[in-house]
Amino acid sequence: MASKAQDPGSGRRGGLFESLKVLAATLLTVAHTRLELLSTELEEQWVWFTSMLVWALVGLFCAAFGIVLATLFVVLALWHTHRLLALGVPAILFILGASASQIFSSRGTVGLLRPPAFGCCIDSLHRPPDIAY
């Protein structure tokens, strides 16, 4: 009978250690999943940022080249009749465009279409993890 009394106690102790092992394995799995989500989110943000940077540079180059050509066209077309007007109007338009650009960039309206940082990670934190036993 003494051996039967020791078996349930040792079973409980083994059960406790087994539960701790399962808990530790579950916590490591959850931490690993969270790190994978974090790395995926960082990679998505980096891809979005580089894509926006490339398109912004292409747009700026095309806009600058178009503005120079349009200004040159206006100046050459009106050179003999209205020299000051041909140079003054584009200068005022460029100053107004630079001011508008500064106002829009300071308000943050340029990045309205950017996906929220760590959106998938935050969503996954709000739902219970899928743990298969």
Give the pLDDT of the chain (133 residues) as one tens digit per residue.
444 444 454 445 568 888 888 999 999 999 898 888 888 888 888 888 888 888 888 888 888 888 888 888 888 888 888 888 888 888 888 888 888 877 776 665 555 555 566 666 666 666 666 655 4
> Looking up tokens 């300071």, which residue turns up?
106
Global confidence as pTM? 0.48
Is 112 within a domain? yes
CB 48 within 8 A of CB 115: yes
> What pLDDT score does 10 carry?
47
Is 132 within a domain? no
CB 93 within 8 A of CB 74: no
CB 103 within 8 A of CB 92: no
Is 30 within a domain? yes
Is 96 within a domain? yes
> Looking up tokens 């995926």, which residue turns up?
40
**Per-residue CA distances from 58 to 26, 51, 54, 62, 64 (Å):** 48, 11, 6, 6, 10
Is 133 within a domain? no
What's the distance, CA 69 to chain centroid?
A: 36
**Residue-range definition of the domain harbouring residue 122:** 2-126
How many beta carbons lie within 10 A of that of residue 42, not counting itself?
13
- The number of distinct structural domains making up the chain is 1
CB 86 within 8 A of CB 74: yes
How many beta carbons lie within 10 A of that of residue 110, not counting itself?
13
CB 131 within 8 A of CB 32: no
Is 131 within a domain? no
